[in-house]
Structure 1
Amino acid sequence: MSSSIKGPALFLAQFLSDEAPFNSLPTIVKWAADLGYKGVQIPTWDARVFDLDKAASSQTYCDEIAGICAEHGVAITELSCHLQGQLVAVHPAYDTSFDGFAPAHVHGSPAARQEWAVDQVTKVAKASKNLGLTGAVGFTGSLAFPYLYPWPQRPAGMIDEAFTELARRWKPILDVFDENGVDMGFEIHPGEDVFDGTTFDRFLTALDNHSRCTITYDPSHFLLQQMDYLGFIDVYHDRISAFHVKDAEFNPTAKQGVYSGYSDWTDRAARFRSLGDGQVDFKGIFSRLTQYGFDGWAVLEWECCLKHPEQGAAEGAPFIADHLIRRTETAFDDFAGGASDPGALRKMMGF
């Protein structure tokens, strides 16, 4: 197994704005390339850089988008449908908050908003195929997250029913992904019903182990939940299809821990940080992913409560590059080996 992780790459979502060079695909791709990035992950909800409707129906448009990136020596790693995926499943408690993820004509109408979201995510599958991609990234959405903490006591069967419904909504979407030869890498993330390994297992079981249900691995969310994020790779490596390189830190105090007392990001015990400023063991992660033959992209998803995004982006490319491992094709002790035959092996063991 000689595959190696590709990178560095950059998720564009956190950098887009109305100011140049962050307001169009050609200029932001050039900016990323000048920083040393070799790939970009494109958010499909932002018309400043991507027209999802056109990409799902026009090969010519997709060729143009790929050409803009290639002109600067940058590949498209995946399309992101995080915001649309979130809207596939929304608990009523979040209706008002999540309306902002959708166009105005579906605000106040959960059914219309969900229909729009499903259409969007299926278009991501088609657009990915047109771009020659084999994976996309996004969220599952949530029907049960308000009941995360078991108080008041949850009625028996509530969580099973939530995951049955979540799978009912996603299975036909994943079938479209399968028809287009594309994996859907769900980012395991608090706020989604799939927020750790146990909830992913529930979802996968409810989906009858659908082959296109895969994982976007992001260790920051696992560190903030105090999970074994290296062991997670051991368990789920065959389902990991994408990789967000994001740092975080957890500094519990006498006053707050994982839930952080409703504090703002700066004052939380659990905080996202720029690469290298947090506590995530990236040497361990890159080693573990390389060990299992992950050959996808290492994509910086920048989020930090302290550092300016442009500084974070500038530091992120060399950080990722320094962690990439060229997979060896020989054993380090080959120099001391010798030729053998079945007879010699048997003799060495005294047979």
Structure 2
Amino acid sequence: MAKLTTIKGPSVHLIQYLRDTPPYNSLEGLAAWAASIGMKALQVPVDPRLIDIHRAAEDQAYCDALKATVAQHGVEISELSTHLAGQLIAVHPAYDLLFDGFAPPEFRGDAAAREQWARRVLLDAAQASRRLGLKAHATFSGALAWPYFYPWPQRPAGLVETAFAELGRRWRPILDAFDAAGVDVCYEIHPGEDLHDGVTFERFLAHVGGHPRACILYDPSHFLLQQLDYLAFIDIYHARIRVVHVKDAEFVPDGRQGVYGGYTDWVDRAGRFRALGDGQVDFKGIFTRLAKYGYEGWAVLETECAFKHPEDCAREGAEFIKNHIIRVSDGSFDDFAGSGVGPDGVKKVLGIE
């Protein structure tokens, strides 16, 4: 059994708070804001307003300066994230135009150039993470098979296998680069990605040879909306979970809509994201399992509530996470009732000596 671990936190994923106005347009400004509401760390998206990822890959002094910038406010960097670049590693043509905006203007309209740019970002993120002293990295897998997740019309034989083989081929050299840097690649298991549940993660893992750096960003909100057992998921995959997004959700189906949501906006969907404590996710169960299985990473707030202002989500979320982190025991609750029998007396107790 893994040693009980007190989870680190709270951290906050900055991507939903990044703006073009102070204090939300710079790493220092966001660090000061996060610290003021009780955050202890930042999950930093690779965005030029926050980090020059190409410079960070090469320049240790620059990385040291980034750490010092946030440290002066009493916080640290928990992870870097490349969700947008990760998405561009594999884009089905049906989504080509919609995802084009994830890349810089000079790479738009050229799928091959866009993918090459995304790969460069990922490779540089591996080195930047190493220089920043980080052990895990958050990203998306991208998707080639997602348009065919529901088998109608009938999927051609071999379609899924071919898609995952290609996804594995594209990611294998990136995983190797992260391995050389000593950093885990944590795929957010998320609808819209080819890695959207346990079965698809296992498919991918088979095509990258069970790569030790192919790990999981666990976010229970995406599992609740799929009606997947998100507590059992931890029991099964805890050895691969290296990043956790703490995000709430609710699923309230009715006579008109269910899991697929009827193309409605988030406010009107049967399944929607909520502020922490306003949804249905069993966070006591989640934090208990993470502590039980020795999760050594951070509890990272992600805010995508359909109703509550994100500032309130962050302020309340910091306290919510703090109150749910279990300070694990350093002994057994019944130590006071110890028998005093040592190893030499065990056989006597059993009556076999």
TM-score (norm 2): 0.98
Change (3 A) 1:59 1:337: same
2:77 match: secondary structure = strand
Task: Determine the C-alpha separation between the residues in 2 that align with 1:309 and 1:324.
Answer: 22
Instruction: Supply the distance in 1 between the matched residues of 2:297 and 2:236 (Cα, whole angstroms).
Output: 18
Answer with 50-59 or 196-205: which moved more.
50-59
For residue 341 of structure 1, report the CA deviation from its aligned partner. Answer: 3.8
The partner residue of 1:27 within 11, 26, 29 is: 29
SS in 1 for 2:177: helix
Q: Would you identify which runs of 4 or more consecutive aligned residues in structure 1 move more than 4 Å?
A: none
Aligned match of 2:348: 347
Change (3 A) 1:296 1:343: closer
Structure 2 counterpart of 1:43: 45
Determine the C-alpha separation between the residues in 2 that align with 1:344 and 1:69.
55
Q: Does 1:89 align with 2:126?
A: no
Q: CA deviation at 1:56?
A: 1.0
Superimposed CA distance per residue, residues 282-304 of structure 1 (whole angstroms, 9 cap, x where no aligned partner): 00000000000001100001111
Q: What is aligned with 1:162?
A: 163
The equivalent residue for 2:202 is: 201
Q: Paired residue for 1:56?
A: 57
Please list the CA deviations of residues 193-212 of structure 1 after superposition, one character each: whole Å capped at 9, or x if unmatched: 00000000000011100000
Q: C-alpha offsets along residues 144-165 of structure 1, whole Å, 9 cap, x if unaligned? A: 0000100000011110000000
Cα deviation for residue 222 of structure 1 reads 0.3
Equivalent residues, number: 350
Distance 2:347 2:11 in 1: 51
Please give the alpha-carbon distance, in whole angstroms, between the structure 2 residues aligned to 1:151 and 1:114. Answer: 29
Note if 1:3 corresponds to 2:39: no
Q: TM-score, normalised by structure 1?
A: 0.98
* In the alignment, structure 1 residue 331 sits paired with structure 2 residue 346: no
- 3-state SS, counterpart of residue 255 of structure 1: coil
Q: 1:181 to 1:350 in 2, by over 3 A?
A: same
User: Which residue of structure 1 aligns with residue 302 of structure 2?
Assistant: 301
Shift, 1:347, TM fit: 2.8
Three-state SS of the structure 1 residue aligned to 2:212 is coil
Share of identical aligned residues, percent? 58
Partner of 1:275: 276
Q: Which of 324-333 and 81-90 deviates more?
A: 324-333
After TM superposition, give the deviation of residue 2 of structure 1 in Å. Answer: 4.3
2:287–2:324 CA contact under 8 A, matched in 1: yes
Distance 2:71 2:200 in 1: 38
2:177 match: 176
Letter in 1 for 2:26: S
Q: Is the partner of 1:114 in helix, strand or coil? A: helix
Tell me by how many angstroms 1:343 deviates: 5.4
Q: What secondary structure sits across from 1:288 in the alignment?
A: helix
**Cα deviation, residue 349, structure 1:** 2.4
Most deviating of 231-240 and 17-26: 17-26
SS at match of 1:299: strand
Q: Give 1:4's aligned amino acid.
A: T
The letter for the 2-side match of 1:199 is T
Letter in 1 for 2:39: Y
SS in 2 for 1:305: coil
Q: Hey, what does 2:235 align to over in structure 1? A: 234
Q: Secondary structure at the match of 1:14?
A: helix
Structure 1 CA distance for aligned equivalents of residues 12 and 253 of structure 2? 30
Cα distance in structure 1, aligned partners of 2:256 and 2:72: 52
Superposition CA RMSD, Å: 0.9
What are the within-5 Å matches in structure 2 for residues 244-283 of structure 1?
244-283=245-284
Pair 1:137 & 2:170 matched = no
CA distance in 2, matches of 1:238, 1:327: 19
| Structure 1: stretches of 5+ with no match in the other structure | none
In the alignment, is the contact (CA less than 8 A) between 2:4 and 2:293 conserved in 1? no
Q: Deviations over 1:56-110 (max 9, x none)?
A: 1111111111001110110100000000000000000000000000011111111
Partner AA of 1:24 in structure 2: S
Are residue 98 (structure 1) and residue 99 (structure 2) matched? Answer: yes
Helix, strand or coil at the partner of 2:191: coil
Partner SS state of residue 54, structure 1: helix
Aligned residue type for 2:176: D
Q: Counterpart in 2 of 1:69?
A: 70
